[in-house]
Structure formats: structure tokens, C-alpha cells
Amino acid sequence: MITLALSKGRIFDETMPLLAAAGITVTEDPETSRKLILATNRPEVRVVLVRATDVPTYVQFGGADLGVAGLDVLLEHGSEWGGAGLYQPLDLRIAKCRMSVATRADFDYASAVRQGSRIRVATKYVSVARNHFADKGVHVDLIKLYGSMELAPLTGLADAIVDLVSTGSTLRANQLVEVEQIMPISSRLVVNPAALKLKREPIRALIDAFERALPQD
Ligand code: ATP
Ligand code: MG
């Protein structure tokens, strides 16, 4: 049996064409089914549905042989585990976005940076944010949040947020502006190294099929 860990939503949706290219179709719809283990047309392949942030944990500890996780999630997970137990053979170039700094329009980020002020930053991505501001030599107080980051500058909890941006429409809807791009983000294939040794042929075949089917841009 080969177990692939995916999160519902964009990662699940954007992984489906890659699986199809490998001859695999998931035979249940995760949005209507309550099942967390989904069968495929191939009896030896199954998909497990986990939270996006849990994908690296499942793969690292062998709950799944492989999985698809955003670079954002992998960087935060790696900061705890040093990347141990995860082989990352492929950038799938799906679920693309960027990690950015955003503030209220009336907060002058550039001059706060220039003046060496202490900036309060709320984010789910504490490790990425800490590294980014340390590299720039900017003093920050980091506040860990688990969601709805946009609210932080609007309520006075923080001056800025570090969050994922794709079209910018969520920021715009909350009257925030993107003031700095930190890094481009896409989703990666992650593989459990022990599984790769034990099930080399079928896992290799899957990786190769994914590679041939990658979006070109
Ligand atoms: P939840 O929404 O259940 O709290 P989550 O926010 O981690 O969990 P998703 O919103 O489905 O889950 O995001 C999963 C992954 O998709 C992220 O880790 C990131 O790599 C990518 N992603 C997140 N937001 C965007 C976006 N706006 N555009 C493109 N990709 C994104
Ligand atoms: Mg989300």
C-alpha cells in the first residue's frame, strides 16, 4: 500500500491533475465525503486527508509514505525538526503564492525600518518572519497567530503581518497593503526516506510521473 497525505482545498485540487498523469484517480470527493481515507482506482494507492500543517508530520513519522506540502509549512516544520526525516525530491509548482509583509495603508513601514523602530509583527510563520527580519537587521516583536492574520493590524494587535498573498484581494478587502515580498511559495512533494527504500519502485514511478506532468511556468 502507498499512502499519500494531502490537505483539502487548493492542494488537493491542484494535485489531482498530477495524480491523473500518473494514472491515479481518487474515487471519492473530499468536499462531500466525511471520510479521511480516500480510495483510488488503484487498489494499492490511497489518499489520507490531513491539515496542511500536519502533512510533514505524517510523512516524517510514517503515517503516510509521501505528501504534498507548501514551502511555508515545510520551512516552519523544518525549524522544529531541522528537516529530519523528509526527502523533498520535487517542487510541484502548484498552490503558488508569496510570503509577504503587509501593513495598514497609514503605517509607514519604510520609515519605521529606516529609523530602526521596533515593529510588532503578527504571523503564523514565526520562524520565516524571525529569519527575514534578522537578515534585514530589523527589530521585531513577533506575535504568533493561527489564522485571520489580517485582523491584527486593524485592531492594533500588531503593526504588520507576515502572510501568504496570491492575488492580494484578501489584503485589499481588509484595507491592508503589501509592503515587502519575502519569498515565492509553491508546494513540494515530500517523501518518507524509509518508505522510499522499502517501496522504491512504485514510489519512484510516482515521482517520475509527477515530474513529467508538472506545470511548465
Ligand atoms: P486552514 O485554512 O485549514 O487553516 P491552511 O490555511 O494551512 O489551513 P490552505 O489555505 O488550504 O490551508 O493552504 C494550504 C497551502 O496552500 C498553504 O500552506 C500554502 O502553501 C498554499 N496557499 C495558502 N494560501 C494561498 C494562496 N492565497 N494562494 C496560493 N496558495 C496558497
Ligand atoms: Mg487557509
Q: What is the pLDDT of residues 13-26, one digit of tens each?
A: 999 999 999 999 99
Residue 157 included in any domain: yes
Distance 121 CA to ligand 2 centre (A): 19
CATH number of the CATH domain containing 159: 3.40.190.10
pLDDT (tens digit, 9 = 90+) per residue, 150-206? Answer: 999 999 999 999 999 999 999 999 999 999 999 999 999 999 999 999 999 999 999
| 192: helix, strand or coil | coil
User: CB within 8 A of 83, min separation 6: which ones?
Assistant: none
Kindly give the distance from the C-alpha atom of residue 207 to the centroid of ligand 2, in angstroms, as a whole number: 26
Q: What are phi and psi of 153, to 5 degrees?
A: -70, -25
The confidence band for 81, taking pLDDT boundaries of 50, 70 and 90, is confident
As for ligand 1, residues whose beta carbon falls within 6 Å of it are 7, 9-11, 51-53, 70, 72-73, 95-97, 147, 164, 166, 185, 187
> What DSSP letter does each residue of 60-71 carry, written as one string?
HTTSSSEEEEEH
Looking at the fold, whether 145 and 88 belong to one and the same domain comes out as no
Residue 184 CA to ligand 2 center (angstroms) comes to 17
How far does residue 67's CA lie from ligand 1's centre (Å)?
15
Burial-class residue 140 by CB neighbours within 10 Å (0-12, 13-18, 19+): buried
Question: Are 122 and 159 a contacting pair, CB within 8 Å?
Answer: no
Can you spell out the DSSP letters for 149-184?
TTHHHHHTS-SEEEEEESSSHHHHHTTEEEEEEEEE
User: 200 by DSSP, 3-state: which?
Assistant: helix
* Average pLDDT estimate for 113-133: 97
Backbone angles phi, psi at 196, to 5 degrees: -60, -35
| Residue with CA nearest ligand 1 atom 13 | 52
H/E stretch holding 2 reads strand 2-6
Q: Candidates 92, 161, 164: which one to mutate for ligand 1, based on the most atoms within 8 Å of Cβ? A: 164
Cα-to-centroid distance, 52 and ligand 2 (Å) = 9
Q: Is 217 domain-assigned?
A: no
pLDDT of residue 80: 86
**Which is the closest atom of ligand 1 to the Cα of 185?**
20
Is residue 81 located within the same domain as residue 101?
A: no
Evaluate whether residue 176 is within a structural domain: yes
CB within 8 Å of 145: residues ≥ 6 apart: 122, 123, 124, 152
Please compute Rg for the chain using Cα positions: 19
| Pair (171, 190) in one structural domain | no
How many domains are there within the chain? 2
Q: Are residues 131 and 178 in the same domain?
A: yes
Q: 72 and 145 share a domain? A: no
Gap from CA of 10 to ligand 2 centroid (Å): 9
Residue 132, Cβ neighbours under 10 Å: how many?
Answer: 19
- Closest-lying ligand 1 atom to the alpha carbon of residue 170: 27
Looking at the chain, the number of H-run helices and the number of E-run strands are 9, 11
